[in-house]
């Protein structure tokens, strides 16, 4: 059942416009597709001293992907690639039902909204796609 997947928190996050669609002078960019559904995210970043200083993205995807991307945009600024990789791994572990260290990670409380997605394997990629794109941009 999808109950819990489309709660107000997810809907609000998906429709928030807090993250710009592109940066004027990105340091690194990535364009990543979810081959299963065709969702796509184009993402720009600015980095200073190994830490993310600005993030922009344009999502062509479902509500879960939009919500995940917007939450990421609001929470990832100031972090290093390693710190974002840690959060991404925690998110993936939660979705797969595997053991994770801290849930939700500090500063990433919005990720708890995605817990109902864990039971829907075909939708995991919708939530993780923005993280995959950001890690690719920061690689």
Partner 1 sequence: MSWSPQSLRQQFPILQRQIHGHALHYLDNAATTFSPECVQAAMSRYESHYRSNVQRGVYQLGAESTEAYEGARLSAATYLNARSDEEIIFTPGTTFSVNLVAHCFGQSLEPGDEILVSLGEHHSNFIPWQYLCAQRGIEMKLIPVLANGSLDLSQLDELITHRCRMVAVSHISNVTGSITDLDCITAAAHRQGALVFIDGAQAAPHGPIDVQTLDVDFYAFSGHKAYGPTGVGVLWGRQELLEKLPPFLTGGGMIERVTAQETRYMSGNRRFEAGTPPVAQAIGLGAALDWLMTLPWQDIRPYEQRLSRQLMQGLLKIEGLNLLGEHSLVHRAPIFSFDIAGCHSHDVCQILDDYGVALRGGHHCAQPLMDALGLVATSRASIAVFNNEDDIDALLIALNKVLEVLR
Interface ranges with partner 1 (CB under 8 A): 1-3, 5-6, 11, 36-40, 60-64, 120, 123, 126
Least Cβ distance, residue 86 to partner 1 (angstroms): 28
Least Cβ distance, residue 119 to partner 1 (angstroms): 11
Environment class of 74 (CB within 10 Å of its CB; exposed 0-12, middle 13-18, buried 19+) = middle
CB nearer to partner 1: pick between 6 and 103: 6
d(CA 86, CA 83): 5
Helix (H, G, I), strand (E, B) or coil at 52: strand
Least Cβ distance, residue 56 to partner 1 (angstroms): 19
CB nearer to partner 1: pick between 111 and 127: 127
CB nearer to partner 1: pick between 2 and 22: 2
d(CA 64, CA 47): 26
Least Cβ distance, residue 101 to partner 1 (angstroms): 29
CB nearer to partner 1: pick between 39 and 90: 39
CB nearer to partner 1: pick between 5 and 137: 5
Q: Count the neighbouring beta carbons within 10 Å of the beta carbon of residue 101.
A: 9
Q: Is there a contact between 31 and 134 (Cβ–Cβ < 8 Å)?
A: no
Helix (H, G, I), strand (E, B) or coil at 112: helix
Phi, psi of 124 (to 5 degrees): -55, -40
Least Cβ distance, residue 5 to partner 1 (angstroms): 7
């Amino acid at each position: 059942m999808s109950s819990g997947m489309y709660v107000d928190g997810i809907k609000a996050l998906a429709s928030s416009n807090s993250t710009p669609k592109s940066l004027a002078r990105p340091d690194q960019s990535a364009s990543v597709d979810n081959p299963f559904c065709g969702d796509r995210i184009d993402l720009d970043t600015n980095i200073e001293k190994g830490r993310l200083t600005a993030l922009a993205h344009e999502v062509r995807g479902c509500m879960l992907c939009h919500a995940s991307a917007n939450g990421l945009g609001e929470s990832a600024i100031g972090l290093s690639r390693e710190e974002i990789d840690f959060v991404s791994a925690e998110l993936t572990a939660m979705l797969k039902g595997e053991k994770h260290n801290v849930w939700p990670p500090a500063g990433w409380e919005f990720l708890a909204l995605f817990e109902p997605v864990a039971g829907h394997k075909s939708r995991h990629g919708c939530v993780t796609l923005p993280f995959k794109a950001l890690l690719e941009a920061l690689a």
